[in-house]
Structure 1
Amino acid sequence: MTSRLAACEACRKAKLACDHHQPVCSRCQSTGGICIYRTAPFKRRRIEKPSTLPSPDPSPSFTPRRNPYPNPGYLGLSSHAAIFEHIATDKGDHSSTRTLPNNEAPSPQRVGDNHLLLQGAEVLRHLLTAYPLSAMKELANFWLAKGANLALAEPFVADCTESVSQLFKSRDENWHLVYAGRLLQNSAQPLHFLSATPLSEFSMQFLGHNSRWETLGIFFTAVSRATIDIPFFPSLYTSEEERYHLRRLATKLSDFALEISLSLDSLNDLQLIVQYENFIVHSYVDGDQSYHSWRKLGDVISSTFAMGYHEDIEAKPDIPQFLIELRKSAFARIYSADKNIAIFLGRPPRMNRRFCHFQIPSCQIRDLRFGTAIDSTVQDRLAWVPDAIIGYRADTRWSALCAYLKEEVWELLQDKQDLGCAKKASSIQQRAEAQWQALPAHFRLQSSLKQCGQGPFERDFVAHVRLNHLHVLFLLRLLLLNTLAEPDIPIIETAAQMLALVVEVILLRDQLTNSGTGLIWKVAYYGLPAAGIILLALLKQHSLTPQGVSRTKILQDLSVFVAEVQIGTIVQPGDPNYALLSKAAQTIQRFLDSIHSDSVQVQTVPERDEGSDDWTALLSQDLWDFEAGFWQSLADHPALLVDSPLPGV
């Protein structure tokens, strides 16, 4: 006697025959509907007396218990697993006992967190009720068409966008709970691959009916990023307030998608990608100084170590080449972010190169026969092929190379009293110049950005490549200063080049496409330190004439910088980085006013004005602090204590 089979929910509600195929029946496969089978379809529901308080719908039904045996992730050489591995080897057992990321799906009775899942489902319902999904798809595709993308999730964004837009077709009363449960079931499944697995086959494990919470995380992260770069999209928002509201909702759903995935305690590559992109979107939404962004970066670094991606990725068996490159890109971008944020905030980095196998993705060249990108066979990490492709992978590669040198400079700062410090700094500078010369010619910006004839993405790319190189030189020369209040000629020259390029990026912002770093980051990370050094030099009566550094050009760049901040084209009140940039702009404006003032002129400020020593001592506490504290101290300089400028100035 054959057992009775239950129809899926979609066929049952439509009162149509179901062929009972799992995980997706034929009808749902053809119509694109969501296919879910109830765990106890023939069990009668007990009718209970109505309660005075409304109770939440129990769907999706699973218990919130966690796996009693936590996934330890990667365990290194000093762990117990390594010791037992040697014991197993001595006994002739060659199977490794060192624990790797868990590839077993958690038991359905032990997955997830019910409260977290219900919250995610509710945000999903609210977002898709307030905004049409088709319009969000159009926004994401429009953003992609401009050449922008998520730097690490780039291979999957377009497919995830299409998959999500096709996913939520049927909407009954509790559709958000039904979909949330299905997404959770898919997220609990491991991602399978072999050495010969192609990218398309790997991707199908989280697309279409296999969509996971991570799939939603990538899509809504892309939507949030698109609202930053696209100021006006009539089908979704026409005002700044509407744009901000959509950005917050999309970011919130990205947060829930990530947290639900992580709650399953089953690490995988897709989770790490979503973690990194979620950190990046929070740096835009909350600001680069936000503790939330800082904490999320720490979480990404923790996952990188837990998955063992700080070790030699190529040494692990049965990994397809595309996944090796993806993991290298993940390591390189996270490593670079750690160094850059640490320098920006003046905090210790958390990914020490001494405990990492430094690895970067290979450069790409263009296959002229097919017009497609192929990987080069260059093994030297400093080497580039002449026709390497400008793209996110190239930006990842270059940023990591610069970050490696920045970490060395950071370490020298801790040993600044060492007699060999200057010699080590000179060695780093030589390697930085060698790295620059090794770049393909079309990667190096040799003229002004305005004269660059490349496209919007390429122009932004070459600008950032140049700024990153100049920043390494800037940090080296900052390291060799005796005191921050007395900049020397080499650092002034480097700062002038950085400031001039940042101002060009500001003026040409509408002709650029984000190639890996946004405009605000370029202004805050490169522009503010450069402007600060130049102001200190002008206050100290430096002659800005060597190597073609023009005082007039410097003052012009400072004026443009201030004007763009003040009129709100870079940041507006309420933006996360507004306080930092506005404080810097106010200080620069006071300096510009002072040079036109009859009462106090920079040309006549004595070298040791009354109170200058106290101010210098306060300013020189930290060579790396170019945030609000630096600008507050600089604003207190005796030469900038100007009540009001001359009329008409």
Structure 2
Amino acid sequence: MSRLAACEACRKAKLACDHQLPVCTRCSANKGICIYRTTPFKRKRVEKQNLGSPDEPPSFNPRRNPYPNPGYLGSSSHAAIFKHITPDGDHGHGSHQTVPEDLHSDLFGDNHLVLQGADILKHLLTTYKLSAMKDLVMFWLAKGANLALAEPFVDQCAQSVSQLFTYHDDNWHLVYARRLLQNSAQPLHFSDTSDLAAFSAQFLDHNSRWETLGIFFAAVSRATTDIAFFPSLYTTEQEQYTLRRLCTKLCDFALEISLSLDCLNDLQLIMQYENFIVHSYVDGDQSYHSWRKLGDAISSTFALGYHENIEIKTGLPPFLKELRKTAFARIYSADKNIAIFLGRPPRMNKRFCHFQVPSCRNAEEGSAEWTLDAEAGYRADTRWSALCASLKEEIWELLQDKHDPSCAQRASVIQCQAETQWQHLPAHFRLESSLKKCTQGPFERDFVAGVRLHHLHVLFLLRLLLLKSPTEPDLPIIETAGQMLTLVVEIILLRDQLTNSGTGLIWKVAYYGLPAAGIMLLAMLKQHMPRAHRTRSLQDLSVFVAEVQIGTIVKAGDPNYALLSKATRTIQRFLDSTHSDPSLSEVAGVEGNDEWALLSQDLWDFEAGFWQSLADHPSLLAIEPSLPPI
């Protein structure tokens, strides 16, 4: 009888191994990855391996899939035509879930990526304790925060990853990288009777994949943005930043390795979205990297066919239908919001999609209605943000037909839809008073504030659309902008009492606060603001500027610092003029002042271009700020 080798976990622990394949009994009970060496009794030669060289690959050699995975193929494709000839195959919906049978025995993918990913994994886990990173994520989750789309899996992934790496020899990272790759190449199986636990078991514990690591390290990166001090990992901003960048880098490699296998699935799409969100925090909302990451997630949504009606698909368990609708809705709303923020065309058009949102908790499966006892949560945030994004897309289309005689009438219809949507919300979701009077918990307070901002932003964009020029704000847009600005300032002041319910503080400040501040500033400069609004607006603008200048919400080196600092310098210059001599602010209101034509006429441009042209306006050039530039 041939001698059998123990798995690495049992060998290192010097315990008896029962040699079960693919997982021994002891590893199965401990939920760790069970690894058997290919040549366990062969003496290792002592030689130093250059892990940084792509010419010296590790002991595994994955290769690319020679048969490209077509993913979803629609009605105009060749597959749709041939389906009428060979109707027994569903070429449009199943191909992205499986790996070709003749390739199951051989791994494929990008070997260089896997090598780099293994090196980053080794560097990260030899620099920081994995148990401490797990503790950070669990502490973050205990505060009520989570990853918005990967929410059902974050806790499980954290528990699973923390138990994976049970031994460390010279090449442990390469051995684990190979096993993770093998697992990532496996399709995710499900039937209409599957539940979330059975689905999750396919990528947890000894089935852990690169996607599992990607979700975990995305959570670590996000946790570092919300938790400023965690002594077992970081005590300074530089240490915090270093850990965040390393986790983001490993999350990037985990995603790229998974995608290189050319077998798209639900888990990869979830990781793509969360990776995009991580980059929006790390690189900023104006970063090309973030923009490209969102584009990749949109491409995968279409390739998976999730832009079609998910509710009528057969063979899907209810939880997976909701998960896919949630993925579509979050990616759809992100596309609209980022497009508006950057002034670029949206990439997901409702005309080519079946618009769908997840059901709210306590509602019947597939229900499009809110329930009276609906709970605040990431799914509810997804529903509401997507409903508002749908209206924003219609407003965007109206912008292209601004001179159409029917534009005002169509805008009126959208406004009625927005007001109806607001009234259909559960009463406890509608913030009708000051946020300070809200007695709910930190997550719920942030949630209702975000719900209100979404609604006000739709009304703001509608009224901005109907202006002849952004330099001529009327009373309706002044009132809406004033409500937006007041709420953003309240969020800034109460930030320590809020938990991220879908969007972070900096995004709320940049996306909602800056356009609102811009309109209020223009209204005061042009003397269009009623006195009843002026005092409150000056107070809000003063707080807004002060909080940015003292560095409580953004610091030099932060991704969105340049945008916010440029805007606040301009606002500060105006505030200084009103404090020193209120009559100075009336200069801009003189009739016939053609110099306002210098301002950008792009209705959607409240980024750096708007603030730069406003700062360069002659009415403000002569005013020196009393505070030093930040």
Instruction: Name the TM-score, length of structure 1 as normaliser.
Output: 0.92
In 2, the alpha carbon distance for the partners of 1:276 and 1:564 equals: 31
In the alignment, structure 1 residue 400 sits paired with structure 2 residue 386: yes
How far did residue 542 of structure 1 move? Answer: 1.1
Cα 1:499–1:189, aligned 2, differ >3 Å: closer, same or farther?
same
Aligned to 1:508: 494
Does the 8 A contact of 1:571 with 1:578 survive in 2? yes
What do the CA deviations read for 1:51-88 (whole angstroms, capped 9, x no partner)? 99998997753324211101010000000000111223
Q: Secondary structure at the match of 2:163?
A: helix
- Amino acid in the other structure paired with 1:319: L
Aligned to 2:215: 218
Cα 1:51–1:125, aligned 2, differ >3 Å: closer, same or farther?
closer
Aligned-pair identity (%) = 73
Cα 1:321–1:643, aligned 2, differ >3 Å: closer, same or farther?
same
In 2, the alpha carbon distance for the partners of 1:485 and 1:126 equals: 54
- Amino acid in the other structure paired with 1:556: Q
- Amino acid in the other structure paired with 1:34: I
In the alignment, structure 1 residue 98 sits paired with structure 2 residue 81: no
Aligned to 1:517: 503
Give the stretch that moved more between structures: 168-177 or 30-39.
30-39
In 2, the alpha carbon distance for the partners of 1:550 and 1:442 equals: 28
In 1, the alpha carbon distance for the partners of 2:106 and 2:196 equals: 32
In the alignment, structure 1 residue 294 sits paired with structure 2 residue 291: yes
In 2, the alpha carbon distance for the partners of 1:58 and 1:509 equals: 50
Aligned to 2:71: 73
Q: Secondary structure at the match of 1:172?
A: coil
- Amino acid in the other structure paired with 2:23: V
In 2, the alpha carbon distance for the partners of 1:302 and 1:647 equals: 47
Does the 8 A contact of 2:576 with 2:623 survive in 1? no
Which residue of 603, 612, 617 corresponds with 1:637? 617
- Amino acid in the other structure paired with 1:72: P
In the alignment, structure 1 residue 24 sits paired with structure 2 residue 7: no
- Which residues in structure 2 correspond to 1:486-565 (within 5 Å)? 486-545=472-531, 549-565=532-548
Cα 1:190–1:284, aligned 2, differ >3 Å: closer, same or farther?
same
Give the stretch that moved more between structures: 638-647 or 344-353.
638-647
- Which residues in structure 2 correspond to 1:158-557 (within 5 Å)? 158-365=155-362, 375-377=363-365, 379=367, 381=368, 383-545=369-531, 549-557=532-540
Which residue of 545, 548, 552 corresponds with 1:569? 552
How far did residue 14 of structure 1 move? Answer: 6.2
In 2, the alpha carbon distance for the partners of 1:38 and 1:56 equals: 23
Give the stretch that moved more between structures: 64-73 or 46-55.
46-55
Aligned to 1:371: none
How far did residue 180 of structure 1 move? Answer: 1.0
Does the 8 A contact of 2:587 with 2:619 survive in 1? no
How far did residue 384 of structure 1 move? Answer: 1.0
Aligned to 2:36: 37
How far did residue 115 of structure 1 move? Answer: 1.3
Does the 8 A contact of 1:59 with 1:178 survive in 2? no
Does the 8 A contact of 1:483 with 1:620 survive in 2? no
In 2, the alpha carbon distance for the partners of 1:251 and 1:260 equals: 14
- Amino acid in the other structure paired with 1:633: S
Which residue of 138, 146, 150 corresponds with 1:149? 146
How far did residue 7 of structure 1 move? Answer: 4.4
Does the 8 A contact of 2:157 with 2:204 survive in 1? yes
- Amino acid in the other structure paired with 1:231: A
Instruction: Name the TM-score, length of structure 2 as normaliser.
Output: 0.94
What do the CA deviations read for 1:588-635 (whole angstroms, capped 9, x no partner)? 0000011133496113444246xx42x433324311011000000111
In 2, the alpha carbon distance for the partners of 1:473 and 1:432 equals: 8
Q: Which runs of 5+ in 1 are unaligned?
A: 366-374
Cα 1:597–1:47, aligned 2, differ >3 Å: closer, same or farther?
closer
What do the CA deviations read for 1:265-285 (whole angstroms, capped 9, x no partner)? 111100000000000010000
How far did residue 550 of structure 1 move? Answer: 2.2
In 2, the alpha carbon distance for the partners of 1:255 and 1:490 equals: 45
Count of residue correspondences:
625
Q: Secondary structure at the match of 1:167?
A: coil
Cα 1:25–1:571, aligned 2, differ >3 Å: closer, same or farther?
same
Cα 1:558–1:329, aligned 2, differ >3 Å: closer, same or farther?
same
In 1, the alpha carbon distance for the partners of 2:320 and 2:50 equals: 55
What do the CA deviations read for 1:79-110 (whole angstroms, capped 9, x no partner)? 0000111223xxxx444333531412644434
How far did residue 315 of structure 1 move? Answer: 1.9
Does the 8 A contact of 2:107 with 2:185 survive in 1? no
Q: CA RMSD in A?
A: 2.4
Q: Secondary structure at the match of 1:267?
A: coil
In 2, the alpha carbon distance for the partners of 1:555 and 1:450 equals: 20
Aligned to 1:602: 585
What do the CA deviations read for 1:422-466 (whole angstroms, capped 9, x no partner)? 000000000000000000000000110000010000000000000
How far did residue 165 of structure 1 move? Answer: 0.8
In the alignment, structure 1 residue 86 sits paired with structure 2 residue 80: no
Q: Which runs of 5+ in 2 are unaligned?
A: none
Cα 1:33–1:305, aligned 2, differ >3 Å: closer, same or farther?
closer
- Which residues in structure 2 correspond to 1:46-57 (within 5 Å)? none
- Amino acid in the other structure paired with 1:571: V
Give the stretch that moved more between structures: 516-525 or 639-648.
639-648
Cα 1:3–1:68, aligned 2, differ >3 Å: closer, same or farther?
farther
- Amino acid in the other structure paired with 1:206: F
Cα 1:50–1:525, aligned 2, differ >3 Å: closer, same or farther?
closer
